[in-house]
Structure 1
Amino acid sequence: MSVPPPPESIPGARLLFTLDPSVSYLNHGAFGAVPLGVQRTQQRLRDEMEANPQRFFGQALTERLAHTRRHLAAFLGADPEGTALVGNTTTGVAVALQSLGLRPDDEVLGTDHGYGAVNYSVARECRRTGATARSLHLPLSATEAQLVEIVRAGLRPGRTRLLVVDQLTSATARVLPVAALVAVAREHGISVLVDAAHVPGMLPVQVDAIGADFWVGNLHKWGYAPRGTAVLVVAPRWRDRIEPLVVSWQQPSGFPGNVEWQATLDYTGWLSAPAGLYTLRSIGVERVRAHNAALAAYGQRVVGDALGVPPADLPDPGGPGVAMRIVPLPPGVAGTLEGAGALRARIADRLAAEVSVMAWNGRGWLRLCGQVYNTPDEYDRLATRLPALLAEG
């Protein structure tokens, strides 16, 4: 079966970014890439801050943060009164976990697709409170209905206090049916935390319609915001129980201000986030999404073909619009975290390509992203050179 043609490149898109042209940057999902216009917006705000710090950090700052919060919440379909700006998804997860009030008889249930740092955060909170953590295996090939039934069977009513699920998994690039999973958990009064780190900007979303107790997503990946920009969305019943990781002067105001205000934090990244969404809208939100998803699918096929992976063995992301795809590596290659990190570094050094290499369930996986600054020939070059690199052992 022949590889489908790649999408047409978006004219001028590469010029919006300041990436090194000698490197194929195929790992947008890791740290994102900030458009030049957004960089300049943030620098203007930094200049304003340094010109008069006292004035910048005055009362007007809280109003500017509220404006940014409303702008981002509207884009995500979330209630701005229940939305707080945070540094990243794992920060939002930590805020939610410590606000739950876990007890020794409680259980936090996750899946084996969960993000490593989130798993560490759950483990730490369980150690602190005496609660337990448990993980469910979700097969890559499972249908949405099968995923829902696996989770339904894994819940322990009366014991499971919190279900933690990814809306789009990082390691395996799989969309999970979070709205259906929230509904199943609701049947038993179990709270749900949705890790949506990769969703804002990549996938259309109406956060409030999902109905989760907590929803956390990054804007600095697919929303073109400066790094360190994310949102924590909290359901009404939890808002008066949310406690920040660090108490500061906005503590009396309650959520979301008590979470956002961290004294001398550099807020210019958050204030620049609307410029990132402006860039996305200027190119065309649906145009960007369609291009990136098609390009990631093309990259998966050409690299998969080069490694001898049949098309049927290339995991499907489980939904349209996903701009990340994974390719299984040969057995024995990068099957551990250490091995995955070492291979990623070799690919970067030897092939001038930035990719993500994951170890999931004892096997190595190559994750490729598609973004408007990428071109088909970058995936073609990787496909041509990668087999020889892997053959070296």
Structure 2
Amino acid sequence: MSRDTTELSEQGWETTDLADIRAEWDLDQARDHLNHGSFGAVPRTVRRAQARWRELSDENPMNFYRELRPPGVRVARQAATRFLGAEPDSLALVANATTGVSTVLASFALRPGDEIVLTDHAYGAVTMAARRFATAAGARLMIAQVDLAASDEEVVSAITAVMTDRTRLLVVDHVTSATARLFPVHMIAQAARDRGVATLVDGAHAPGMLPVRVDTIGADFWVGNFHKWAFAARSVAGLWIAPAWQERIRPLVVSWNEEEKFPGAFDNQGTVDDSAWLALPDALDFFASRQPKRLREHNNALAAYGQQTVAAALGTDLTGVGGDPSLSMRLAPLPASVSDRQDGAHALSERIARELNAEVAITRWRDRGFVRLSAQLYNSADQYDRFAAGLAALLR
């Protein structure tokens, strides 16, 4: 598929600029990394910052835990709060979005007969967490079926259609993982609030990919990973809680800050390695230095190019698949012969890695198989060209 390299691949960046930026990552150059969305990729400067925190903890553990770590965590938390445009002391640091979801569910008072609503786009571990806590309380899950190409109004309608007078909590994605959909979380939260239902937004992919102002969404709870699109080390996420709920939500693990109010109670989790938290300000500085608006435009355009290129090579139709222009992840449908294989996603992902030297996410939703492609500054258009041609040959 032909392209204008300046328009598609560079998106306003000078070629030398991109070369310098790509050198910030120590990714294996023998393969194409087209799956930033799953685990992110940590720039060298952030890894160095994290390593320095680990060195400090090993050089003098007493001094580290007594003098260095507490203010370091507070500085990191404050940096995360500013990054998300939130009010001071409205956000705690947790390991990842799944931890944040489980934290809210563990503290949310459910009674027998109560209901939690999710959609059929929900992340698998989030659905499992909701099922565990609902079952323990004698509550039940309600799953809203949301079509892949549903309009914002149709998304809201599908979700509210399964709500009843027993619905207590709605868990909804900001950006869906398996289907790369941007949900209208402002509209959804308002509709839930009108019905007296609390909303927990799983924003795992939002920080960095989207310009988030978390306290304007209208949700009761929101959690997002910094180690995906904001260049942080793994694992660090922010758990935002509306003021009315802050006294009720407690950390999953009881530790020495237990008596403090939110968010300080979350700051001390014993001797866990929280060097990723401590290096978060370095990651957010790196993100800011990459000109966020320009970065997003580059990634979004490159993801769209990858989607179109792979779909064209496979001969699959993008009608109804979607692809929001503000997202750096896109779906390309797999041929029906591949989609029909119930256990084929993991096997295909392994085969792609082994035979094509490429890393992608293979997802399955409503018995359809997709390649989920991500785009980041270290990617280039020729990587999607190469992958598209290789995948088409592999699936013949």
Q: Which residue pairs with 1:126 in the alignment?
A: 134
Q: Which residue pairs with 1:97 in the alignment?
A: 105
Give 2:189's match in structure 1, choosing from 171, 182, 188. 182
Q: Which residue pairs with 2:245 in the alignment?
A: 238
Specify the SS of the correspondent of 2:8. coil
Instruction: Pick which of 268-277 and 147-156 moved more.
Output: 147-156
- Give, in angstroms, the shift of residue 313 of structure 1: 2.0
| CA contact 2:148–2:320 (8 Å) conserved in 1 | no
| CA contact 1:3–1:302 (8 Å) conserved in 2 | no
Measured in 2, the distance between the counterparts of 1:340 and 1:389 equals 14
Kindly report the root-mean-square deviation, in angstroms, between the aligned alpha carbons of the 2 structures.
1.6
Q: Which residue pairs with 2:314 in the alignment?
A: 307
Q: Which residue pairs with 2:387 in the alignment?
A: 382
What is the TM-score when the length of structure 2 is the normalising length? 0.95
What is the TM-score when the length of structure 1 is the normalising length? 0.95
Per-residue CA deviation, residues 271-300 of structure 1 (Å, 9 max, x unaligned), is 101111111111111111111000000000
> Residue type matched to 1:250 in 2?
N
Q: Which residue pairs with 1:6 in the alignment?
A: 8
Q: Does 1:280 align with 2:272?
A: no
Q: Does 1:17 align with 2:25?
A: yes
Task: Indicate how the Cα distance of structure 1 residues 34 and 110 shifts in structure 2: closer, same or farther if over 3 A, else same.
Answer: same
Specify the SS of the correspondent of 1:364. strand
Measured in 1, the distance between the counterparts of 2:239 and 2:124 equals 19
Q: Which residue pairs with 1:172 in the alignment?
A: 179
Q: Does 1:34 align with 2:42?
A: yes
Measured in 1, the distance between the counterparts of 2:40 and 2:235 equals 11
Give 2:333's match in structure 1, choosing from 302, 311, 328. 328
Measured in 2, the distance between the counterparts of 1:159 and 1:229 equals 34
Q: Which residue pairs with 1:217 in the alignment?
A: 224
Specify the SS of the correspondent of 1:252. coil
Measured in 1, the distance between the counterparts of 2:235 and 2:371 equals 25
Q: Which residue pairs with 1:162 in the alignment?
A: 169
Instruction: Pick which of 327-336 and 138-147 moved more.
Output: 327-336
Q: Which residue pairs with 1:228 in the alignment?
A: 235
> Residue type matched to 1:7 in 2?
S
| CA contact 1:173–1:326 (8 Å) conserved in 2 | yes
Measured in 2, the distance between the counterparts of 1:376 and 1:314 equals 24
Extract unaligned runs of 5+ from structure 1: none
Task: Indicate how the Cα distance of structure 1 residues 337 and 285 shifts in structure 2: closer, same or farther if over 3 A, else same.
Answer: farther
Per-residue CA deviation, residues 40-97 of structure 1 (Å, 9 max, x unaligned), is 1111111111110111111542222111111111111122312110000000000000
- Give, in angstroms, the shift of residue 388 of structure 1: 1.8
Instruction: Pick which of 9-18 and 241-250 moved more.
Output: 9-18
Specify the SS of the correspondent of 1:58. helix
> Residue type matched to 2:297 in 1?
A
- Give, in angstroms, the shift of residue 128 of structure 1: 1.1
Specify the SS of the correspondent of 1:176. coil
Measured in 2, the distance between the counterparts of 1:172 and 1:293 equals 16
> Residue type matched to 1:276 in 2?
A
Measured in 1, the distance between the counterparts of 2:128 and 2:388 equals 34
| CA contact 2:114–2:168 (8 Å) conserved in 1 | yes
- Give, in angstroms, the shift of residue 315 of structure 1: 2.2
Specify the SS of the correspondent of 1:231. strand
Measured in 2, the distance between the counterparts of 1:11 and 1:250 equals 45
- Give, in angstroms, the shift of residue 316 of structure 1: 2.1
| CA contact 2:149–2:320 (8 Å) conserved in 1 | no
| CA contact 1:71–1:274 (8 Å) conserved in 2 | yes
Q: Which residue pairs with 2:349 in the alignment?
A: 344
| CA contact 1:358–1:367 (8 Å) conserved in 2 | yes
Q: Which residue pairs with 1:293 in the alignment?
A: 300
- Give, in angstroms, the shift of residue 268 of structure 1: 1.1
Q: Does 1:368 align with 2:396?
A: no
- Give, in angstroms, the shift of residue 134 of structure 1: 1.3
Alignment of 1:9-88 (within 5 A): 10-88=18-96
- Give, in angstroms, the shift of residue 153 of structure 1: 2.1
| CA contact 1:336–1:359 (8 Å) conserved in 2 | no
Specify the SS of the correspondent of 2:210. coil
Alignment of 1:259-270 (within 5 A): 259-270=266-277
Per-residue CA deviation, residues 315-362 of structure 1 (Å, 9 max, x unaligned), is 2233x3200000111114145673211111110011000000001111
| CA contact 1:3–1:298 (8 Å) conserved in 2 | no
| CA contact 1:300–1:314 (8 Å) conserved in 2 | no
> Residue type matched to 2:239 in 1?
L
Task: Indicate how the Cα distance of structure 1 residues 336 and 241 shifts in structure 2: closer, same or farther if over 3 A, else same.
Answer: farther
| CA contact 1:314–1:326 (8 Å) conserved in 2 | no
- Give, in angstroms, the shift of residue 21 of structure 1: 0.4
Task: Indicate how the Cα distance of structure 1 residues 58 and 137 shifts in structure 2: closer, same or farther if over 3 A, else same.
Answer: same
Measured in 2, the distance between the counterparts of 1:60 and 1:347 equals 45
> Residue type matched to 1:339 in 2?
G
Per-residue CA deviation, residues 158-184 of structure 1 (Å, 9 max, x unaligned), is 211001110100001010000000000
Per-residue CA deviation, residues 175-225 of structure 1 (Å, 9 max, x unaligned), is 000000000001111000000000000101100000111100000000000
> Residue type matched to 2:361 in 1?
S
Q: Which residue pairs with 1:140 in the alignment?
A: 148
Q: Which residue pairs with 2:360 in the alignment?
A: 355
Measured in 1, the distance between the counterparts of 2:123 and 2:362 equals 14
Percent identical residues: 46
